[in-house]
Amino acid sequence: MASLLREYIEEEIAFALDDSMMFENDELLEEIEFVFEGLVNPAFMTGKEFGSFGDLDAKIKKGSIDKDKILSTIQTIYDNNKSKLNALKKEFSNFLKKNSRKFKNQEIYAQLKSLDSLKDKVGNRGKSIIEINDLIRGAVVFDTKDDADKFMQDLVRKNKDKIVEIEEKEKGSDPEYGYYGAYHLLIDIQGVYAEVQVMTKTLWKQKKKAGKIYDTFRSNPSGPTKQASQMSKQIFNRGNRVESFEYFEDLE
């Protein structure tokens, strides 16, 4: 018992002294697309803690509410629940920090999805509000892919009860934009799903650049142009430290 207590105290001291960089500014992740969709966020269902999301979803599906009312209702729900969501975001941040403390130089990002982004996703792009799984979202980025892989192994081994979904972005899995080299996870934080992305710092920087291309073409039924697709793939190759000159050759 004494040894377990000592181990616990040592872990808490290490957690308190952890010098990893934590970013919680609401603007830092806005250029990054979080796309873990298709699963219902359980806490958003009618009758649950954030059941007002479910109530709105039911009205949208029935067609009994117009667009202006949808947008104003989203704002009311967001404002009424922001303090509770911020508390969950803090718990999410601490979870990421605690599970990455053995590594050096990692950067941890955490934020709430902005109100404007939520309005756009539901009101303008027609996404189901109860399937929004990035209302709380974040990232852990490392100097090397080896550290990112080891972090994932530790995270899964220690937190199976909190992990809802894992998706490894492999090369070739995104034929339009060429995104690969990262892990995406859904984490259960007191019944609310939160998305976290894990990758290298190099890929993180390049993903922000590629995000501008995605934003330009995401609403286009035909997808990106050939040139835009090649540019995006070049960016992700660079982010994964794989040099390719296909894009530049095509421009000659």
Chain segment 161-212, per-residue pLDDT in tens: 999 999 999 999 999 999 999 999 999 999 999 999 999 999 999 998 888 8
Q: Is the residue at 32 inside a domain?
A: yes
- The CB-side HSE value for 175 (13 A sphere, CA atoms) comes to 1
Residue span of the structural domain in which 39 resides: 18-199
120-125 mean pLDDT: 88
pLDDT for residue 242:
52
Copy the structure tokens of residue 155.
Answer: 């995270």
C-alpha–C-alpha distance, residues 53 and 41, integer Å: 10
Q: Is the residue at 246 inside a domain?
A: no
Q: Is the residue at 52 inside a domain?
A: yes
Helix axes 226-239, 201-217, angle to 10 degrees: 170
Q: Which of 157, 134, 150, 245 is nearest to 200 (CA)?
A: 150
CA pseudo-torsion sign 85, 118, 65, 61: negative
Between 39-43, 200-204, 248-252, the lowest mean confidence (pLDDT) is in: 248-252
Q: Is the residue at 75 inside a domain?
A: yes
- Mean pLDDT across the chain: 84
Task: Quick: pLDDT tens for 63-112.
Answer: 999 999 999 999 999 999 999 999 999 999 999 999 999 998 999 999 99
pLDDT for residue 15:
45
pTM of the complete model: 0.80
CB 110 within 8 A of CB 118: no
Q: Is the residue at 163 inside a domain?
A: yes
Q: Is the residue at 210 inside a domain?
A: no
- pLDDT(156) > 90: yes
pLDDT for residue 36:
61
The CATH code of the domain that includes 70 is 3.30.460
Overall domain count for the chain: 1
Q: Which residues contact 111 (CB under 8 A, 6 or more apart)?
A: 24, 25, 26, 28, 29, 89, 136, 137, 138
Q: Is the residue at 51 inside a domain?
A: yes
Question: What residues does 139 pair with on adjacent strands?
Answer: 109, 197
CB 180 within 8 A of CB 233: no
pLDDT for residue 223:
87
Task: Quick: pLDDT tens for 25-37.
Answer: 444 454 455 556 6
Q: Is the residue at 23 inside a domain?
A: yes
